[in-house]
Amino acid sequence: MPLQIHQFICRTDNFGVLIHDPQTGATAALDAPDGPALLAALDARGWQLTDILITHKHADHVEGIPALKAKFPDAKVTGPAAEAKEIGALDVEVKEDDLVRFGATAAKVIATPGHTAGHIVYWFEEDDLLFAGDTLFALGCGRVFETSMEVMWESLSKLSRLPGETQVYCGHEYTLSNTKFALTIEPNNSLLQDRAGEIATQRAKGEMTLPTTIALELATNPFLRADEPAVKAALGMSDADASQVFAEIRERKNRA
């Protein structure tokens, strides 16, 4: 049976995400941005929390852990070994290529340093699902705080090689602002223009813009397209390495 996914906005622009395996009854929170909001969502669906899967150490992704553990003390908290000390609440520490069992399925851990040095993501290969935290956003990527730009580009490149049909969920609803920026890089990208119109309509209705897919991001997300000749040419960097082009795009977004 396919996994059931419930996402909602919490805090200001964080996504709360729950995944439920109807075959076994297992339920996981992907990160823990807001304990009360996640508990209310669990209660509304009658789901019992069994797992908390953490992508990185930032407060807006871990602050809800104590509230969730208070209500579900047996829920297992899994997260990046490289940030275990900072998170301080992990039951299971994982790293690149580890498998995280969840219900009747499993997620592969992919290390994606950049936003933080120990950031990880969870790829449910059999279910075509990627929970990307703050590494990859719809039409964007996370700020690079703790590594070089080259390292972040390498992390994004890993994700770009996943199957195109992979559905992507991420940590924040930044898509509308990301769209406006993406159009400054590739104003003549017809797929991006079409997507921009769809996103504007979605947000005007209060709808969420996720999930996206790897294929859609490869076609429209400038941060994944730094190796494309058209993007390089638009930036006047035709002979530059893709990581340098990515760095220029990321710096422009930082200033936007």
Catalytic residues, by residue number, are 56, 58, 60-61, 115, 134, 172
The token duo for 2 is 């396919």
CB 144 within 8 A of CB 250: yes
Q: Which residues contact 98 (CB under 8 A, 6 or more apart)?
A: 108, 109
If DSSP states are collapsed to H, E and C, what string results for 164-176? CCCEEECCECCHH
In angstroms, the CA 52 to CA 46 distance is 17
In angstroms, the CA 23 to CA 46 distance is 15
In angstroms, the CA 94 to CA 97 distance is 9
In angstroms, the CA 135 to CA 128 distance is 18
